[in-house]
Structure 1
Amino acid sequence: MNTTRRGGTGDVATATDGAPRKRRLVGIDAARGLALIGLMAIHLLPAWNEQTGEASWSWRLFSGHSAALFALLAGVGLALGSGARQPREGRALTADRVSVLVRALLIVTVGMTVNAAMPEDPPAYNILFYYGMFFILAIPFLHARPKTLFIWAAAFGILSPLLMQRMLDVLPEWWYYNPTLPNVLSNPAGTLSQLLLTGNYPALPYMTYLLVGMGLGRLDLRAVRTQVRLVIVGVVLTVLAQLVSAVLLYGLGGYSVLQEASRLSESTLDEILVWGTDSLPTDTGWWLAITTPHSNTPLAIATSLGLSLAVLGVFLLISQKIGDWLLPLSAMGSMTLTLYSAHLLALSLELHYDSPYLWYVVHLLVAAVFAVIWQRTLGQGPLERVVAYCAKRTRRLVAGQGGNANPGKTRNS
């Protein structure tokens, strides 16, 4: 049993064995809570304004970016859970890798269970199925240092979109938006290609966010200097990606090439640049210059990554002063697996179509109230507790010890 001195977000909890144990970084949980709110908005709120036909505020703010923020924070959590600034080695590293594999399989199980309750034409696409693949692909990188992780992230961000565009015409087709176990067993090749390259949240491009997050988790995220740099780098990266895209499309003739290669009218192309397509067109490499949400081009990845970095930096900065005021967000962010799964199950009832704004408020309020009460009384979220217990037990068995493999780690994993 631990006793914790209440105060600022940088307080230290003291375990009964006398080892210092850093408290959770509230800013990380708050950022994760915002990502959950964003996904709820995309699932529930209209994507366009019925009067003007233009993209809605929720679409512009959250489409593609919320999922990227989730993946970035997943990487941060993986790093914090595997030694933080001091990656483990030897048997402890092996234990971490097996633990992450167990965590991934449990998340996939939860995801497919939720998928089984979803209608054939689903109101939302479940990211949990892909999330497990993110974790599996992260296993070889658990020992890596920040510089190595950032280099690999850049490689995934540049090469994965190229591979994705070149392979789309030859990869097996997939038919299930939210695959269940029977779907996976009946079409394993299509499922694998969906997970890696052709799905809604393809793992190879998304490894950019995950690896950057892991690199950040190896830094001192409690340092104000690090937090300010996150904001600056994030803003610069976002602006630069948008600027490069604009130059390529409108300054160097990319827009005209897209029209000619795809035989699209100007209005149709403009719609694609806002809403995207089911898959990235393969008729010309100039499509890689767009920044449309979920297009997973290098510049789209850079845009979402920059926004995610800025959001994380801002929340880390403000949580030092107003951490207590962020409680609804941080409580939600500490149990997103539970809340996201419950949100999707509620959507599967398909009661929200006639009153999307009302149901959005209902989902938010229920999630916030439940999260605050549960966290204050019972701590870890229900599904989070099960996953954490199985993962920690596995880690200890592999490591050959009954206690915590690293009692001094930051607890945002």
Structure 2
Amino acid sequence: MRRIEGIDLARGLAVLGMVTAHVGPDSRWLEIADGRSAALFVVLSGVSVALMSGGARPVDGVRRVQARVKVLSRAFILLGVGVALAALNTPVVVILPTYALLFAVAACLLRTRVSTLLVGAGVVVLLAPALRVLLEGRITAELNGGGIIDLVIGEYYPALVWIAYLLVGLAVTRADLRAPRTRAALLIGGAVATVLGYGSAAVLTRVLDAGPTLSRLITAEPHSSSTPEVLGNIGVALLTLVACLWLAERLPRLVAPLAATGALALTAYVGHLLVIWLLGPDVVWLPTVGGWLAFMVVIVGACWASRATVGRGPAEWALHRVAARAADTGEVRATPVGDPT
């Protein structure tokens, strides 16, 4: 089954948002990309896992085993790539190790019902931020390369909290993203989550005389991984996904460059970090409008041209190739609904 262009469009916006958070100039308008783009990226990881395992109709038997192997293969590869990128010591916290850990967790959730996924996401949103703060007080973790502890409760992408985004992505895809009823529910749910998340932070931070610990739990600042921030980010991700599905179906030619960027998201992400490494840390610490626009134009242009001529990017090709070989039992080949790579 062909790819869902709206998902590629959303993924393209997510990766460009992360690039903007890294090299974009200081601007109130561009600050919206900080944190929210990475959250959307992880929500879409749940979407990808669900699509690899049958979409709204999960595969069974050998096909489920193959899907699980594909997901785990991707997790191991992404972990290796993430560690290698972190070793470059750029002034960017690499999301791929946490992304890989969440992929590995997702491999265990292929049979989970939508209701269970949503309840699980709700429990994580409500309890995990406080649990993370509690664990931080008992465990010393080195940031940006502190091993499994950092992946679970670290400062920027703590898997303990960010798994909520993955669960939401799995749930909405299992509920069938093509169905108008599902999209209406996502539109309403996304709006409610956005208002409750950011609204509660706006109120609580003004009415409570909070100390350092409580302040961390009621703020909606980017990468605070608090309940209000995570809830608000989920809402924004759902609204963005619905908007992208609508736009891609009605204006496919207009959004084609951004959708191509989403289809080659891993290549774009890895490539921009390699360029940052080559150019030096000043491109992050002293960003300019011209430098940011250059990143945007080159990334979108290269991805659009590559998709039109080659199909997959080099990172996507390698990821797909290894995962497909690992999952090939020699008996039945799985047919995923829109393989995300």
**Which bracket does the TM-score occupy, shorter chain normalised?**
over 0.9
AA aligned to 1:45 is G
Q: Is 2:267–2:315's contact at 8 Å kept on the other side of the alignment? A: yes
Q: Does 1:291 align with 2:220?
A: yes
Q: Is 2:125–2:227's contact at 8 Å kept on the other side of the alignment? A: yes
Q: Aligned residue for 2:116?
A: 148
Q: Aligned residue for 1:18?
A: none
Q: Residue 57 of structure 2: SS of its match in structure 1?
A: coil
Q: Aligned residue for 1:340?
A: 269
Task: Provide Cα deviations, 1:279-331, integer angstroms capped at 9, x if missing partner.
Answer: xxx3xx45422211111111110000000000000111121110121011000
Q: Does 1:57 align with 2:36?
A: no
Q: Is 1:227–1:317's contact at 8 Å kept on the other side of the alignment? A: no
Q: Is 1:375–1:381's contact at 8 Å kept on the other side of the alignment? A: yes
Q: Is 1:79–1:142's contact at 8 Å kept on the other side of the alignment? A: yes
Task: Provide Cα deviations, 1:343-388, integer angstroms capped at 9, x if missing partner.
Answer: 0111112262555211111111111111111111111111111111
- Greater fraction helix: 2
Q: Does 1:163 align with 2:131?
A: yes
Q: Aligned residue for 2:340?
A: 412
Unpaired runs of at least 5, structure 2:
none
Q: Distance in 1 between matches of 2:75 and 2:323?
A: 9
Q: Does 1:28 align with 2:31?
A: no
Q: Report how far residue 67 of structure 1 moved.
A: 0.4
1:190-229 → structure 2 map (5 Å cutoff): 190-229=146-185
Q: Distance in 2 between matches of 1:361 and 1:335?
A: 19
Identity percentage of aligned residues: 33
Q: Is 1:231–1:311's contact at 8 Å kept on the other side of the alignment? A: no
Q: Distance in 2 between matches of 1:47 and 1:231?
A: 31
Q: Report how far residue 108 of structure 1 moved.
A: 1.1
Q: Aligned residue for 1:312?
A: 241
1:307-386 → structure 2 map (5 Å cutoff): 307-348=236-277, 349-350=279-280, 352=283, 356-386=288-318
Q: Distance in 1 between matches of 2:286 and 2:217?
A: 37
1:255-274 → structure 2 map (5 Å cutoff): 256=209, 258=210, 261-262=211-212
Q: Report how far residue 207 of structure 1 moved.
A: 0.6
Q: Report how far residue 202 of structure 1 moved.
A: 0.8
Structure 2 counterpart of 1:237, from 193, 197, 204: 193
Q: Residue 117 of structure 1: SS of its match in structure 2?
A: coil
Q: Is 1:238–1:304's contact at 8 Å kept on the other side of the alignment? A: yes
Q: Is 1:228–1:317's contact at 8 Å kept on the other side of the alignment? A: no
Two-structure CA RMSD over aligned residues (Å): 1.8
Q: Does 1:75 align with 2:15?
A: no
AA aligned to 2:74 is R
Asked which structure has the greater CA Rg, the reply is: 1
Structure 1 counterpart of 2:24, from 14, 37, 45: 45
Q: Aligned residue for 1:387?
A: 319
Q: Distance in 2 between matches of 1:132 and 1:47?
A: 30
Structure 1 counterpart of 2:69, from 95, 98, 123: 98
Structure 1 counterpart of 2:229, from 286, 293, 300: 300
The TM-score with structure 1 as length reference comes to 0.78
Q: Is 2:47–2:169's contact at 8 Å kept on the other side of the alignment? A: yes
Q: Aligned residue for 1:10?
A: none
Q: Aligned residue for 2:105?
A: 137
AA aligned to 2:125 is G
Q: Distance in 2 between matches of 1:116 and 1:301?
A: 28
Query: 1:110 and 1:286, CA in 2 relative to 1: closer, same or farther beyond 3 A?
Result: closer
Q: Is 1:85–1:218's contact at 8 Å kept on the other side of the alignment? A: yes
Q: Report how far residue 147 of structure 1 moved.
A: 1.3
Q: Aligned residue for 2:55?
A: 84
Report how many residues are paired.
Answer: 338
Q: Report how far residue 153 of structure 1 moved.
A: 1.2
AA aligned to 2:19 is M
Q: Distance in 1 between matches of 2:255 and 2:50?
A: 23
Q: Is 1:87–1:145's contact at 8 Å kept on the other side of the alignment? A: no
Q: Is 2:121–2:164's contact at 8 Å kept on the other side of the alignment? A: yes
Unpaired runs of at least 5, structure 1:
1-20, 49-55, 180-189, 263-281
Query: 1:224 and 1:323, CA in 2 relative to 1: closer, same or farther beyond 3 A?
Result: farther
Q: Is 2:25–2:292's contact at 8 Å kept on the other side of the alignment? A: no
1:94-133 → structure 2 map (5 Å cutoff): 94-118=65-89, 122-133=90-101
Query: 1:104 and 1:299, CA in 2 relative to 1: closer, same or farther beyond 3 A?
Result: same
Q: Residue 406 of structure 1: SS of its match in structure 2?
A: coil
